[in-house]
Chain A
Amino acid sequence: MATLHIVNKSPALASCLQTAALEDTILLIEDAVYQASVPTERKLLALTDDVDARGLKARVRRNVSVVDYDEFVNLVTTHQPIVSWR
């Protein structure tokens, strides 16, 4: 299984990107969703509710897909290990 990286603080994404393998999945939650609004090369996921709460819905970049809590659970069950970046 590929690794799921869960990032919950904006500055932590840089460290995560340095270590994540290409086939890994990176999910932005809480304050890390601000990174969905700035240019990044890599494909990323971001949690819908955290994006919407912060007023970022219209600012999400094309390389970022938003996922809801059901998809979040699905990601957790289909990846191993899971790494939290904070």
Chain B
Amino acid sequence: MNGAKKILFLLRQPPYATSHALEALEAALVAGVFEQEVSVLFKDAGVWQLLSDQSGDVLATRTIGKIVTALPEYDIDSLYVCAESLAERHLTVQDLVLPVTVVSVAAQGDLINAMNAVVND
């Protein structure tokens, strides 16, 4: 569409200890609302945002896993996760709250190069 930019949100922070993850996800959702072409790459400790069975309730905060599952509802379907970051944490795609495309570190340069802007939290 006219004026739409390809924006990659590079999410590298774990949820809960700080508000980084929550604020970056909210920024991605807002970009989606404004009909930008949003992609999200979960990398490093950011892959923990994708883990199933989270419960923000016990910390009196919002559940990050639930916010992640809202991304496709805002037409944000280009969701990626770093293969190496998953493996280092003994995680597989079966452990995650929604289907995401697994990309190796080697392929992430091309992903980033295809963007107009990258937001790195």
Contact = CB atoms under 8 A, between A and B. Distances in A.
Contacts of A10: 14, 45
Given A30-B17, A31-B14, A53 B55 contact: yes
Given A53-B16, A53-B58, A34 B89 contact: yes
Interface SS majority for chain A: helix
A38 interface: yes
Interface in B18-67: 45, 48, 51-59, 61, 65
Interface in A4-61: 8-10, 30-31, 34, 37-39, 49-50, 52-58
Given A31-B16, A54-B51, A55-B51, A49 B90 contact: no
Interface residues of B, number: 19
B84 to A, nearest CB: 14
Contacts of A58: 53
A28 to B, nearest CB: 12
Contacts of A9: 17
Contact of B59 (A38, A49, A55): A49
Contact of B58 (A30, A37, A39, A52): A52
B16 A55 contact: no
Given A55-B53, A55-B54, A37 B90 contact: yes
Contacts of B48: 34, 54
A49 B59 CA distance: 7
Contacts of B61: 53
A57 B53 contact: yes
Interface of A: 8-10, 30-31, 34, 37-39, 49-50, 52-58
Interface of B: 14-17, 45, 48, 51-59, 61, 65, 89-90
